[in-house]
């Protein structure tokens, strides 16, 4: 009997492509293991971004609108 070898490990994954939207960077502190992580969050409208920034307990940095190549500066007013 010839045993077929099973593939080992995790399959390769494709990098995530950012969609055209408004982005914020949230700096999250994990007190369990005392680490800091950056989380990129996207929203479709400016009012959604304002609500996220208002209710977040973590440090939030507004990056702007991602147009597919770079962040465009946008006023939150």
10-residue averages of pLDDT along the chain (77 residues): 69 87 94 92 95 93 95 90
| pLDDT at site 51 | 95
Query: How many domains does the structure of the chain reveal?
Result: 1
- 9 is a domain residue: no
| pLDDT at site 10 | 85
Residue 47 DSSP label: H
| pLDDT at site 16 | 81
Cα–Cα distance for residue pair 40/65, rounded to 1 Å:
13
| pLDDT at site 5 | 67
Residue 65 DSSP label: E
| Domain hosting residue 51, numbered range | 22-69
| CA end-to-end span of the chain | 72
- 8 is a domain residue: no
Answer whether 21's CB lies under 8 Å from 50's CB.
no
The CA-CA-CA angle for residues 49, 51, 54, to 5°, reads: 110
Give the global pTM: 0.74
| pLDDT at site 3 | 58
| pLDDT at site 13 | 87
């Amino acid at each position: 009997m010839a045993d077929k070898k099973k593939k080992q490990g995790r399959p390769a994954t494709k990098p995530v492509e950012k969609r055209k939207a408004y982005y914020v960077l949230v700096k999250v502190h994990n007190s369990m293991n005392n680490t800091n992580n950056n989380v990129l969050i996207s929203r479709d409208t400016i009012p959604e971004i304002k609500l996220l920034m208002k209710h977040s307990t973590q440090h939030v940095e507004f990056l702007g609108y991602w147009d597919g190549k770079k962040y465009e500066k946008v006023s939150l007013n």
